[in-house]
Amino acid sequence: MTHLDVDARTGAAGAGGLSAAEVAERMARGQVNDVPVRSSRSLGEIVRANVFTRFNAIIGVLWVIMLVVAPLQDSLFGYVILANTGIGIVQEWRAKKTLDSLAVIGEVRPRVRRDGTAAEIATSEIVLDDVLEFGPGDKALVDGVCVEADGLEIDESLLTGEADPVVKRPGDQVMSGSFVVAGGGAYRATRVGREAYAAQLAEEASRFTLVQSELRSGISTILKYITWMMVPTAIGLIVSQLTVERNELRGAVARTVGGIVPMIPEGLVLLTSVAFAIGVVRLGRKQCLVQELPAIEGLARVDTVCLDKTGTLTEGGMDLTELRPLGDADEGRVRAVLGALGAADPRPNASLQAVIAACPAPDGWKTADALPFSSARKYSGARLAEGDGTEGTWLLGAPDVLLAEDDPALAETGRRNEEGLRVLLLARTDRALDDAEVAEGAHAVALVVLEQRLRPDAAETLRYFADQDVRAKVISGDNAVSVGAVAAKLGLSGDTVDARRLPAERDGMGEAMDAGTVFGRVTPQQKRDMVGALQSRGHTVAMTGDGVNDVLALKDADIGVAMGSGSEATRAVAQIVLLNNSFATLPSVVAEGRRVIGNITRVATLFLVKTVYSVLLAILVACSQVEYPFLPRHLTLLSTLTIGVPAFFLALAPNKERAKPHFVRRVMRYAIPGGVVAGAATFLTYLLARHHYTGSGALDAETSAATLTLFLISMWVLAIIARPYTWWRVALVVAMGAAFMVVLIVPWLQDFFALKLVGVTMPWTAVGVAVAAAAALELLWRWVDRRFPA
């Protein structure tokens, strides 16, 4: 290991780190790593996001007007908005607290040397000139200069795009956002906080790219079009109501507001936020950290999940089950060499840890030089000096990488691999470790057979994905036959492919990926290429992993899922972190995403049917120069019983339907015909009632008849949306109908909502029109299903 002494000219720390006094001095000067963590919004931001919206502003103005010119019951819509906004704030605040508490559990705590000893501290406590240690999988948190290097290789691809690891020596620059792929060392912080390279790139590399949310962007698109329609329609409605002879000013204003308010699907945005927030809280209880809310949605859309074997299908630990010397090799000496190789690596991986546990380090052996393990080359090595002074260069790694294809040792390896065992080769070479062809001509000495522990929940999780029509692809750096055997034990069937034989071009690789199920001997760059090849063929891809070799693929996948015990770099680029390291948590995430998307799609139709019929009614009223049929209180009642209350329950109900694309098209193909039928039927009833009723109180009677028709049609829309029926869905629909009947029966509620059915002819006519409209809706929606399938 090479060391860099203290720099006397700059006063910067050497390998021993800063003293407590120097740390305090730098903190006083503000030279601290104070980059804000982008985990969640502050309480103030949550309140502003929920209160200061475009539609809240419109409704707020209308509410103030109604408080001045109309009775309290015509202002109920304003109190409903207040309650909705409060619910949204509370739910998002709960989600924020859940996220923040989980983020603390999964927070990276770098090892920093101070006063000559290394200790873990919070990332925000790093100061200028701190000396930080890092090893395989660790991410550089700040910019710095390398002060120690022990076979240190750093991947800077997330910053520069160059995939090849860079060898670092003392004095070399270390950029924040890069991560260690082999070896280890230490670096001195030269730029911290917002001055660091990754921070200047808006943490693009050290964090993650934002997940695309089709749900949110679709709702934004819908709201944009609604705004465009609402403005001219509202102006036309205002003009018509102020010029109608039968309307006095206060009544004209009240009915104008009654026409404008239902055009706004104010609860849709709220319900989406609440559904996401509750999803985060539910997953948080299962120790699943969702670093971006739309990631829940993204995983629900996934049709292909790429699994790294080690740490995902198998547990991290291994056991050495057999040591088989080859030729005339002595087992005792083989064990001594393996023990010395283990002692030569300060940061052993899981395979080497199993070797160390079975083969203790021998006395008197020394390490002259070392080559740490790298996922790209598939082996590690060291030049060892034995107790008698004899030196030799030894390699430990993949047999099919270190040996020629015709080597007889590979046949023995193949038999072990077919049993699902992992086999390493101990080989001796005459070449120097820094030789690019160090493995060329290596002599096989012994086979090291390791048994991997299968995760007890892996088989059940794979069955879940198969049942949900999500294809699983196992991608591993291990031998393809061995990986295939492990997959077979877990019930995963399909072709096994050696990735070294995959086509380099994307189209060919995509075809191979579609055809195969298990892929072995995959390099980190190939994992990234495989994800891209699947995406190019229209697949939505999730990638799971825990090692540094998974970082590039996790970064490029539609959804990256990291294990909580995985490397710091994988957790940094993943959108979802399984803090309990349980692969079995993934079905819960998928189910939560499907619940959110399926239910929001379902209830969005309810909200937008109301918007469509409100716009249509306003246009028909403006063109006909008649009074608007409803006061705000009527539509508040209808919205509460047919949309607000049912939507809340439907949005939070279980839903296992796989998420489908084209959210806007799927919602509007029902909302437009449903809204048109509801609006036209309601206006027809209103015109018939105007013709039927005469004299004082006629307007209230006309409104009551129109309200009855609209309620019944809206209930039928709800009944269609609530399918498939369960006992609680039926009970929900019946309860809403019963609540409306109570309003019609109880005298003081009749007066409060200005609803009183007069006579027999017109109420039954209203029912007849509603029944005809419901039949038309049923036929129309079935035709839409056949003509425009989702």
Q: Which residues are catalytic?
A: 308
How far CA 692 is from CA of 186, 260, 472, 611, 625, in Å, comes to 89, 27, 66, 28, 18
Asked if residues 740 and 678 have their Cβ atoms less than 8 Å apart, the reply is no
DSSP state of 123: G
Asked if residues 413 and 479 have their Cβ atoms less than 8 Å apart, the reply is yes
Long-range contacts of 356-365, Cβ-Cβ distance < 8 Å, separation of 24 or more:
357/320, 358/320, 358/323, 359/320, 359/323, 359/335, 362/336, 362/387, 363/387, 365/336, 365/339, 365/340
Determine the Cα–Cα distance for residues 143 and 297; give it in Å rounded to an integer: 35
Determine the Cα–Cα distance for residues 537 and 560; give it in Å rounded to an integer: 19
Determine the Cα–Cα distance for residues 227 and 224; give it in Å rounded to an integer: 5
- Sheet with 379-385: list strands edge to edge: 314-325, 443-454, 422-429, 391-397, 379-385, 366-374
Determine the Cα–Cα distance for residues 545 and 372; give it in Å rounded to an integer: 21
Element spanning 65, H or E: helix 54-69
How far CA 559 is from CA of 314, 534, 574, in Å, comes to 21, 13, 7
The number of residues in the chain equals 790
**Degrees to nearest 5, angle at CA 353 with 352 and 354:** 90
The amino acid at residue 264 is I
Tokens matching residue 422: 């992992």
Q: Which parts of 419-523 fold into alpha helices (H)?
A: 458-467, 480-489, 506-515
Element spanning 136, H or E: none
Determine the Cα–Cα distance for residues 544 and 560; give it in Å rounded to an integer: 6
Which positions ≥6 away from 511 have C-beta within 8 Å? 503
Cα-Cα end-to-end distance for the chain? 62
**Degrees to nearest 5, angle at CA 469 with 466 and 473:** 60
Determine the Cα–Cα distance for residues 350 and 87; give it in Å rounded to an integer: 48
Q: Compute the half-sphere exposure of residue 520: CA atoms within 13 Å on the CB side of its CA.
A: 21
DSSP state of 350: H
- Quick check: helix, strand or coil at residue 472? strand
Torsion of CA 151, 125, 198, 132, to 10 degrees: -10
Would you say the C-alpha torsion 240, 244, 250, 256 has a positive or negative sign? negative
Would you say the C-alpha torsion 642, 646, 651, 657 has a positive or negative sign? negative
- Quick check: helix, strand or coil at residue 287? coil
Beta strand spans in 388-421 (E): 391-397
Radius of gyration for the alpha carbons in the chain, expressed in angstroms and rounded: 34
Burial environment of residue 700 by CB neighbours within 10 A (0 to 12, 13 to 18, 19 or more):
middle
